[in-house]
Every structure is written in C-alpha cells, then in structure tokens.
Structure 1
Amino acid sequence: MRIFYAFVIAILLMAGFGGLAPSHAQYQAAIGPDLLEKMKTSSDHYEVIVTFKGDGAPTTEQAEVLETVGVDTGLTLESLPMAGVLASKEQIEALSSNEEVRSIYLNEKLEYFNSDATALTGVDKLRTDDSMRKQNGGLPVSGKDIGVVVNDSGVDGTHKDHEFEKNLVQNVLGSTNLNSLSPGLLPVTYQEDVANTDTNSGHGTHVAGTVGGTGVMSSGKYEGAAPGADLIGYGSGGALFVLDGIGGFDYAITHQSQYNIRVITNSWGSSGDFDPNHPINVASKKAYDRGITVLFAAGNEGPGENTHNPYAKAPWVISVAAGEKDGTLADFSSRGTKGVGGTFEMDGETWTWADEPTITAPGVDIISTRVVAPVSSLAAADDVEELDPAHVPFYTMMSGTSMATPHVAGVVALMLDAEPTLSPDNVKTIIQTSATNMPGYETWEAGAGYLNAYAAVDMAFGNDTYGNTLNMDREFNSNVEAETERKSFAVDYNPSTLISDNQYEFNVEPGLTSLVAKVDAQGVMGETGNPVNLILIAPDGTEYSSGISLLFTLYTDRTVSVNAPMPGDWKAEIRGLRGDEQNPTSGVSFSEDINGSLAFTKVSGFDGLNDIEGHPAASAIKIGVKERLFDGNSKGNFKPDQLLQRKDLAEYLVMGAEIQQSPLKDIADAPSHLLPFASAVTAEGAAFRDETQTQNGVMVLKDGKFKGQDNVNRAELAYSLVQSLGLQDQAESFDGEVTVQYKDERIAINDASEIPAHLKGYVQLALDLNIINALFDVAQGPYDTEPTVQAEFQPKENTTRGDFAVAMSRYFEAFLK
C-alpha cells in the first residue's frame, strides 16, 4: 500500500486579492490561493490559519488584532506565531492589511495519501562495528536519548516495540476542531499521555516503528533504525488538517528541552510550488532555527517531473525519496523539476532552494509495526505471504516515501547520538556527502543518491574523508542529451504452439542509439522463474539473445540490449530451454503470460566525445555517458581503443555500478585522487546489492597494492561486474563446465582451461547475464555434413575502453534501470 498524506492545496505566493482587497491598503499579507477562490464564491465563515510576524506565540497585541476585526473563535499556538480561527470574508480582508499579519491560509483537510532497510543502508553494519562502538563508549550507536517527534496519524503505544513511557516517551493527541470551540480566543491544548493515538490509520505506528521500534515482538528482526531514540508521537487521529500538522511543530518547539527533541519526521505533503510564507514552511523554519532537523517525504506522485512535495522543497529540510531495495528509484517516488529553484528573503537572510529531493532511502515493501489496538488490516494479504505467521499480528508491509522518510529520521538520530552538537545544516550536508551514487538518475529525481547510514555516522564521528566520489559534485568532461520512449508489450507464451504465436512485432525508426527489451518470466506462482530466452530478431534475420541465466529463479527478468539497431520491422520472441537427449523434459519452459517493455533511445546531442563517431562501441559510449556510468577525458576524447586500466575501472564502478563510499584505506601506491575510489572498490561489502555488506570487494588488491596502471582482462572485468551485483555466493558455488547459450542449446567454452579457477563462476554468470559476450566461430571439416559452432571467452585478453563501455551499458540496462 502506498500511503501518503496529500494536501489538496496549491501554494502559489500571492501578491494580492485582485478585486477583493481595499484599494487604499498599503500592506498586503500573503493569501492562500484556495482561500482566495472560496472568498470569490461564498460568504461563509472560514477556518483559517493566521500567521503573524515574530518567533514565538502570538503576542497580546497580535491577539488584539484578531479581536479588533471581530474574530472571537479560535486558538493560539504555544510557540509558533500562529492562530487557527473562524473568520468571515470581511474579517480576512481587514486582517490582510494589518502589518502584524504575515499570511492567511485555509485550514484545509488533508488526505492520508524493516529488516531489509537497516541492512541495505548499513545500519546493521554500524551497530556491529568495533571502531564505532569504541568511539561511542563501548555501546552500539542507537540514537540513545535523542528525541524524535513522529508528526503523523498517531502511535499505538500498546505495541511492545514502542511501549508507552519506555521507547515511546510521550504520546500526544493533537487534533483540533475549530467549529467545536466556544467563542473566545483560547490557547491550544494538547492531550498528553494517551496510550494509543492511532486508532484509525495505522500509518503513524508504522512510521514510528521504522524510526526506532525496538523489534521486541520479532526478536529484533524488525527493529527500527534508532531503537535507543526517545519517540514522541504527535497524532491527529482519523482526520488531519493543516492546523494539526503545524501543531506537531508547535509541540516539538514547546517541549524541546523536556524531551531533547532534535528531529521531527513528516510523512505527508502535496505537489505544487514552493511558498515560503505558507504556515507549514514557516513552522518548519522555526523548528530549524531551534536546532531541530526536519524531514519531509518527497511524495508518491512520480515518476513525472514537478511532483515534489512543496513542504519538502524548503532549503532547511531534508526531502526523502523512496528507493527500491535493488538500489533503483521507485517509480511512484515524486520527482522535482530539472533546473527549477531560486532565492528568497526570510528573517533577514537570503535563501536558495532547488526543486529536488535531498536523499533516497528504502521505501518499498517496508515491514514495520502494525497497530494492535484495534488490529489493522493494512496489507493483510501481503503480510500473510511475506511474514512469519507469528509476526503478522504485530507487523505489516507498506510502501511509499512515507516509509523512506522515518528511516532517514532514525539515521539522523544515530548521527546525533554520535555527535550531539551537529546542526541541521551539518546533518543535511553529511547525509548528502556520504550518499551512494545512483547511476541513471539526476539530482532532481533522487537527490545526492542512496542513503549510506554507515558512512553518515562515520562522518558524524569526525571522519571527513567522504564525498570525493560523489557524482552530484563532479564536473563531467563529456555530456550526452538523449530521449527514451518506452512501450509495453506482452507475449502469451506457449512452448507447444507455433513460433509466430510466441512473437511480438514492432518497428524501429531510423537513427536510434539503442534498443532495450526486457521481460519478466515469473514462473509458477511467481516463485520459480521460467527458463525462457528473450530473442530480438532484426529485419535482416540477425538474432540478439538474452540467454537463459542459471540464476533464473533469482533473476526472473531477461534483457536484450542492441546498440544502433537497424531500422525496420523487428520481432521479440520468447523461446524455451530444450531438454537434453536423456531427459527431454528437463529444464523445459512452461506456458505463461509474459509482460515486457521496449525502450527506444535516440541521442539528440553530445559533447566531449570527439573520437567515437564510426566506432562500433559509439552507441554504448553515448548511453553510458548519458547515464553517468563513465566519462571521457579532459581533452574531449573517450579513447575507445585504448586499454582499460584498473584506476579507470575503479572510478567507473563507483560512478556507475552503485558502489558505496568507504573509509580510506592505507594503500601505498594509490595517489590521493585515486585513493577514495580504490578504497571503495576493495572494501568489504562494497556493492550496494550485497545486502549483508559482508562480501569481498568488487576489485582486489595485488600483493597489497592497487596497481592502478595495470590493464584489466576479460576475466577480471567479469569478476568486477558480477561482484557488483552481490552475486559472490552464486559465483563461488559454481562447479562445472563453463558454457554459453547459443540459440536453444548450451555450448562449452573451448578455452575454459585458461580461466583462473576462482573466476570461473564469475565468467559463467557474466555470460549467463549477457553482460560480456563469448566469441563464436563456425567450423566445418571437408567431410562434415553440418557445421559445428564453437565458442571462446578469451579470459586473458585485455579489455579496451570501448569493450568496457559495451559491457557496462548492458550491466546498467539489465540490472540498474
């Protein structure tokens, strides 16, 4: 379930009322556009939020401003310069011309829009790291005594994972109803010490568990990111209004010292323009001014541009996008707008904002606490399928940026546990600087990259050696502009029917740079995988094959990538694996409705690649540069026929294979500019897809040295790319003859004896996953009735930069996009 609170409000900065404002007014407060529209069509009393100038609660003089215009029903906040009131059109017009009033907005109704996560981002790793324990007084970093406000639907404090007055140190019911108030301007009251404030949604309870649930009911399996943090639940109950969201900030500021509140997480928002005068943005700024780190969910309206939550655009908050567990960006995660941003004045300071998230964190199929009083039915079907039956009453699975945001909030608590003096600006900078590059995404889509909790906490402890490998801050030598059109297709596959029945026909226009086809063969009940092969057949009959991976139960997708495809009518065909002669049914594929997609990419322009035109690898080079998988040199060339060196491979793996930043190693022969890359690729758990972060590096030292000037042969490249996929166990368990798929049969690799024994499994997987080609030859003796197809891998052959570009672009298209 993808849940996100959605404000149904646009927040354009209004300069005036049009014809509604008195013509003689010398001052005009900012007015919410929805309020303006309502005032044009009706004359009722409106629930509005009046924001005054100042830093604290409304002063006596400001309260008198309300009384002077006849407003006699409402409440004033404790620490924010705001009041929620009932006001008529005439009263609003009068308030708008008072210089004490900053803005007036409707109190609109809002709509309700982790075991894997803690492993993926390195939270589990940092808890067991000896050096971090020593720096933390011998105890694991847990967020101890850091107050985190969960500003949401509420928290079920009867759940043992965040038991009230222990893990959940305060639980507040903050919903307000202006229409239920008796006449009078009253101070806001918050109902504290409520055991369960989440009796309708379950959203806030799930969020709280992700921040800092203790995992008691799962023996620690579904522990939150910061189980030592002090959670403060601020719940609106079943209905949420703007005033309720603001109330969470007001409560946090008022009780900051009492609970050491350093973080407030908000999994609600909207799409629209950024307006610094909106009361939500004013409230988040006041919290920031008090040293409270504010986080907002980016939104669930992706993948289109200009869908970013406006409250997440404020430059003083952390905006969190949702990532898949494979390191890609979730389709539903809201995006910003490329190149959009600006400056504005607030509180005497000039601020710069950009329409982009700050960071990406796990947000898909996140398991966290379920409300137990009453028991929630959220995601019930998925829970029964994915969770241990003993855990179903206590945990549930949900997806959304709502789930990604509290994970980052928990990591912020860990950072503040490591170094309590960090300011919100320090926290945001560290979160971005320590991130893992996400190839294929720009900052307006995914921010700085994927959250790296281990590196973030290491930076909080004072290790400032991160950030040198970050794509976000890199100046690229080469650039490519391209557009990609995507089209869905389906094949009703049946191995017993005619070939034509298992084909899909489509047209390729002239001038395409690449054609990528992908299908997902789920198999029986979506669990076994289906041993089928995806074939693209060109107009001249040339076939391009995905191969049938030995990992078909692990990777159910098949991908074929064709550079500079021939224009004309193509066919996508599904073929099954043929059984052997002794057992004709062994490994045979079975019927399935197989869905797929086609991606047609055309380059519209490029620079910094002066020497690639006419080269066989030119299309792959353009695609790789476009997706920031690698780069040309400072002289504007790529040198496609030059041999690939280890120093370049290290740099490009960190750029384009989602290799995580790592503490610097003592590598004597690695110069300072290379050391961050060499340290990252040789570190334990280097690959993002190594979920346990315990596998070997994606490159290995040679006699303790990096030897960056050495060339990279084909077997070594196979190791690095397969290891980058987190497939060490599968590669090392391989024991057999190295073969390659040719049409519907497997062919032995003739020169397999030249492949080092420890790399044979990696070469096999590189062939199976169609990352690196075998080289085929047809031999026929003078008396042979049929030719024999032979295959070689040439493992000792050094790789050119063009060869690498082809392999890397295939790697990316198949597994990272």
Structure 2
Amino acid sequence: MDASDIAEWIRISSRSAGKRGRRSILRFWNPDDYARFLHALQPNPSGADGALPKGVRKLGLIQAVSCRAGSRELPRSLAGKAYWEDDIRVKVSALPKGAIVTDTGIPWGVKHIQAPQAWSRTTGYRVKVGVIDTGVDFGHPDLRHSLERGINLLQRMALPQDDNGHGTHIAGTIAAANELQGMIGVAPRSTIYPIKAFDHNGSAYVSDIILGIEWCVRNQIDVVNMSFGMKTRSKSLLNAVGTAYRAGILIVASSGNDGRIGEIDYPARYAQTIAVGATNQRSRIASFTNRSGLVDVYAPGDRIVSAWLRGKHREMSGTSMATSHVTGAIALLLALKPGLTPNQIKSLIQSSAKPLRNSKALRTAGELNVARLLKAAEQL
C-alpha cells in the first residue's frame, strides 16, 4: 500500500467535494496500514500537533477517518485493505414535543419501574453514565448535582450545552435529583457525562457518534445512553459499539418510533446493545414503538415528564424516554454490583423483566422492573 498516494487522493477528494459533498468513512482493516496512512496525511508528520487536513477527522477507535468525498472510487492499492461507507445522518428518537408542565415530583415512569423502592439500597452513587445526545442544560436546578463536564464534539472548547432539549430530558429521567422543588430520576446519585454529538436540530453524523463512543471508552464510562436510531446498517458504528462492549461498556439504545412490527432501528439492532421499546401507563406496548424479537426490554416511554431547557419540565413520548429509564436502572444495578460485565447486565435485564399485559407473542420481551432486577442480581 502506498500511503502517500492514498493520502493525496483523500486531500484531492475532500477538496473536490467541498462543503456540500456527502461525508464518508474510510476504514482500514490493518492497524499498520492505518498508522502509515495517518502519517502520510499529516502536513507535517514530524510535528507534535498531528494535525490532519481540514474536514478530515480521525476515528481512532475503529482505525478510520471521516471526510467529505468527491470520489467514491477507491485507489487500487486500497483493494482488500480498506472500505468506504457513507457517514450517515442520524436523528434523536422522540415524537413531537408535549406540553411544558409544572407538576413534577417523581414521574410516573420512575415509580412504575419501582425505582423508589431501591433507593434505600442503591441510588446509582458514582456510576458514570455517558449520554450521547444534544447536550444538557447545565443551569437546570434538577441536574446541578448530577453533571460532569463531558465533551462537546461539535465545538471542542465549549461546554456540551443543550440547544435542543432532548438530551436534557434524557438526563433528567436518568439522574435528576431535586426532590423538594423539581423531579427525581431513576438513579439520582449517578453522574451524567454529557457528550454533545447532535446539533440543535437533533441531527448528527455516524462519525460524531463514534467519536462519542471513543470518548466514553477512553474515560471509562460505565453505561452509555444512545436515544437515537437509523434505518441503515453501519459497519463502522457496529465496530465502535462492539469495541465498547469488549471494553466493559454497555450501550442502551432505542428501538425507534415508526410503529413497525418485525424491524427495529440501528444501533438497537446490534446484539452488543440493549434494545429498548416503550410501554404506556397500562403496561402495554406503546403504539409508536418499533418492535421485534430483537427488543430486549420495554420501559415507560409514553407521556414522560422530565427536565427541559431553561430550568423547565416537559412531557415527551418516544423510545428515547424508555431508553433513559433502562440506563438509570443499570446505574442502580452497577452501584450495587460494580463488577458486572455487559453480557451479565444484558442477561439480568432480560431475565428479570416483568411479563407484559395482553402480550400475544410468546417471545415478547418483558417490561423493566428494578425490584426484580436487583433480586435477580443477588442470585449471581
């Protein structure tokens, strides 16, 4: 492989694509080929900064780069050594926003999964929860005791401040801790590390998400909430999810809100995640939920009240909201049993779930229940 020729091809391809060219991910199979390529790509390889050409981003976790591509034709010297795939746009998973509310306390979903009954034993203390989303409202009174700085992948020097609301809502369900004046989440003493990968429209590239997962691996996060989905399979995202799983980090992902039967979104469809569908207050699968045998557990996701921008609270529905309940439950579990592997956690979540009401399919996953989850963990 002639790394310098390939590096020059990347530079030319990126320039010809301009700002409007679609983004792609170029991933190398061999670490040595990747290292040679990066070395050749740097304008001053001997320099300390290791800067790459403008618009080219290193995805070290999966031995890849992301860039705008003018040409989809790989040079011959890359045959069998690397592959292109589209750097797909992804959206956060939520239905249209509900009303701003003033009556908070302990939301119905937190009560429904029996989290309060566990708080005398575990509150998620010191469990590190990564939330790859739109950021959080750092000024929200319900979250001020629950946040670490995290990272803003869109503006590296800025706080991961939420300019959409979705990430704040997710963080509130997981770890809000303002019992007297606001709301309380599933694991009120867990710590949220916000990873802002999504913009104000709730949109991100797969490469942003991979960078978020890489940050979580590097910072030894315990569990990661990914309340978003896409219809297209990405080998690069699968590789990142698998790498995190092998590093001991479990990712919890949303099944999607299209009401489809027999098919769920990626990354929830990957075996190395916990795929979450939504239920309503009657413990029935919400009509909007994508469902299939690949869903691992269902959780409250209909008309969920949680934190919102500017210190407010809003009601929202979606598998995003269900996913945050499961992430919070895992934080409770890990505070009690810190040595559990992702495989053990996934197995406990599945086996301890409460059978759903009026479920016609024999193999339908059950509904999250914290009391049952912790009891099952005691048997290990």
TMscore range, shorter length: 0.7 to 0.9
Indicate the residue corresponding to 1:172 in structure 2: 151
Residues in 1 aligned to 2:218 and 2:148: alpha-carbon distance in whole angstroms: 16
RMSD in angstroms over aligned alpha carbons?
Answer: 2.7
- 1:455-485: per-residue Cα shift (whole Å, max 9, x none)? 112222x235xxxxxxxxxxxxxxxxxxxxx
Query: Which of 262, 270, 294 is the matching residue for 1:356?
Result: 294
Residues 395 and 278 of structure 1, relative CA distance in 2, 3 Å threshold: same
**Is the 8 Å Cα contact of residues 91 and 229 (structure 2) preserved in structure 1?**
no
Query: Which of 246, 249, 274 is the matching residue for 1:289?
Result: 246
Query: Which of 274, 286, 302 is the matching residue for 1:318?
Result: 274
Gaps (5+ residues) in structure 1? Answer: 1-43, 134-140, 177-189, 337-354, 373-392, 465-817
Indicate the residue corresponding to 1:463 in structure 2: 379
Residues in 2 aligned to 1:371 and 1:447: alpha-carbon distance in whole angstroms: 36
Query: Which of 22, 36, 39 is the matching residue for 1:61?
Result: 36
Q: Does 1:106 align with 2:86?
A: yes
Displacement of 1:111: 3.4
SS at match of 1:240: strand
Aligned AA (2:242) = K
Residues 281 and 210 of structure 1, relative CA distance in 2, 3 Å threshold: same
If asked which structure has higher relative contact order (CA below 8 Å, sep 6+), I would say 2
Query: Which of 305, 311, 314 is the matching residue for 2:261?
Result: 305
Aligned AA (2:189) = G
SS at match of 2:239: helix
Displacement of 1:54: 6.0
Residues 369 and 263 of structure 1, relative CA distance in 2, 3 Å threshold: same
Aligned AA (1:150) = V
SS at match of 2:222: strand
**Is the 8 Å Cα contact of residues 354 and 369 (structure 2) preserved in structure 1?**
yes
Residues in 1 aligned to 2:34 and 2:161: alpha-carbon distance in whole angstroms: 31
**Is the 8 Å Cα contact of residues 278 and 318 (structure 2) preserved in structure 1?**
yes
**Is the 8 Å Cα contact of residues 283 and 357 (structure 2) preserved in structure 1?**
no
**Is the 8 Å Cα contact of residues 171 and 197 (structure 1) preserved in structure 2?**
no
Displacement of 1:226: 0.8
Residues in 2 aligned to 1:440 and 1:313: alpha-carbon distance in whole angstroms: 25
Indicate the residue corresponding to 2:126 in structure 1: 145
- 1:215-236: per-residue Cα shift (whole Å, max 9, x none)? x2x5276211111111100113
Indicate the residue corresponding to 2:119 in structure 1: 127
Displacement of 1:126: 1.6
Query: Which of 230, 239, 251 is the matching residue for 2:191?
Result: 230
Residues in 2 aligned to 1:121 and 1:95: alpha-carbon distance in whole angstroms: 55
- 1:533-554: per-residue Cα shift (whole Å, max 9, x none)? xxxxxxxxxxxxxxxxxxxxxx
Map residues 497-516 of structure 1 onto 2, 5 A cutoff. Answer: none
Radius of gyration: which is bigger?
A: 1
Q: Does 1:48 align with 2:27?
A: no
**Is the 8 Å Cα contact of residues 172 and 197 (structure 1) preserved in structure 2?**
no
Query: Which of 76, 88, 108 is the matching residue for 2:70?
Result: 88
Residues in 2 aligned to 1:96 and 1:297: alpha-carbon distance in whole angstroms: 39
Query: Which of 254, 259, 278 is the matching residue for 2:218?
Result: 254
Residues 333 and 270 of structure 1, relative CA distance in 2, 3 Å threshold: same
Residues in 1 aligned to 2:40 and 2:84: alpha-carbon distance in whole angstroms: 14
Residues in 1 aligned to 2:33 and 2:134: alpha-carbon distance in whole angstroms: 27
SS at match of 2:167: helix
Map residues 420-569 of structure 1 onto 2, 5 A cutoff. Answer: 420-441=338-359, 447-460=364-377, 462-463=378-379
Aligned AA (1:233) = P
Displacement of 1:443: 6.3
**Is the 8 Å Cα contact of residues 146 and 192 (structure 2) preserved in structure 1?**
yes
Residues in 2 aligned to 1:225 and 1:75: alpha-carbon distance in whole angstroms: 36
Query: Which of 56, 75, 79 is the matching residue for 2:57?
Result: 75
Query: Which of 164, 168, 171 is the matching residue for 1:208?
Result: 171
Residues 149 and 58 of structure 1, relative CA distance in 2, 3 Å threshold: farther
Identical counterparts, % of pairs: 25
Q: Does 1:329 align with 2:292?
A: no
Q: Does 1:242 align with 2:223?
A: no
Indicate the residue corresponding to 2:142 in structure 1: 161
Indicate the residue corresponding to 1:622 in structure 2: none
**Is the 8 Å Cα contact of residues 173 and 237 (structure 1) preserved in structure 2?**
no
Residues 316 and 414 of structure 1, relative CA distance in 2, 3 Å threshold: same
Residues in 1 aligned to 2:157 and 2:207: alpha-carbon distance in whole angstroms: 15
Residues 435 and 63 of structure 1, relative CA distance in 2, 3 Å threshold: same
Displacement of 1:72: 4.8
TM-score scaled by length of structure 2: 0.81
Residues in 1 aligned to 2:330 and 2:283: alpha-carbon distance in whole angstroms: 20
Displacement of 1:421: 0.6
- 1:692-747: per-residue Cα shift (whole Å, max 9, x none)? xxxxxxxxxxxxxxxxxxxxxxxxxxxxxxxxxxxxxxxxxxxxxxxxxxxxxxxx
SS at match of 1:125: helix
Map residues 638-787 of structure 1 onto 2, 5 A cutoff. Answer: none
Aligned AA (2:223) = V
Aligned AA (2:174) = V
Gaps (5+ residues) in structure 2? Answer: 1-19, 43-51, 94-105
Map residues 561-580 of structure 1 onto 2, 5 A cutoff. Answer: none
Residues in 2 aligned to 1:198 and 1:231: alpha-carbon distance in whole angstroms: 14
Displacement of 1:175: 2.1
Q: Does 1:415 align with 2:333?
A: yes
- 1:306-350: per-residue Cα shift (whole Å, max 9, x none)? 4411311111110000001111000001012xxxxxxxxxxxxxx
SS at match of 2:148: strand
SS at match of 1:234: strand
Residues 58 and 406 of structure 1, relative CA distance in 2, 3 Å threshold: farther
- 1:757-803: per-residue Cα shift (whole Å, max 9, x none)? xxxxxxxxxxxxxxxxxxxxxxxxxxxxxxxxxxxxxxxxxxxxxxx
- 1:31-56: per-residue Cα shift (whole Å, max 9, x none)? xxxxxxxxxxxxx854211223368x
Query: Which of 89, 107, 117 is the matching residue for 1:115?
Result: 107
SS at match of 1:288: helix
Residues in 2 aligned to 1:175 and 1:362: alpha-carbon distance in whole angstroms: 31
Indicate the residue corresponding to 2:157 in structure 1: 191
Residues in 2 aligned to 1:58 and 1:148: alpha-carbon distance in whole angstroms: 34
Displacement of 1:107: 2.2
SS at match of 1:417: helix
Indicate the residue corresponding to 2:235 in structure 1: 278
SS at match of 1:404: helix
Map residues 32-47 of structure 1 onto 2, 5 A cutoff. Answer: 45-47=21-23
SS at match of 2:150: strand
SS at match of 1:160: coil
Displacement of 1:205: 0.4
Aligned AA (2:113) = T
**Is the 8 Å Cα contact of residues 174 and 191 (structure 1) preserved in structure 2?**
no
Residues 447 and 94 of structure 1, relative CA distance in 2, 3 Å threshold: farther
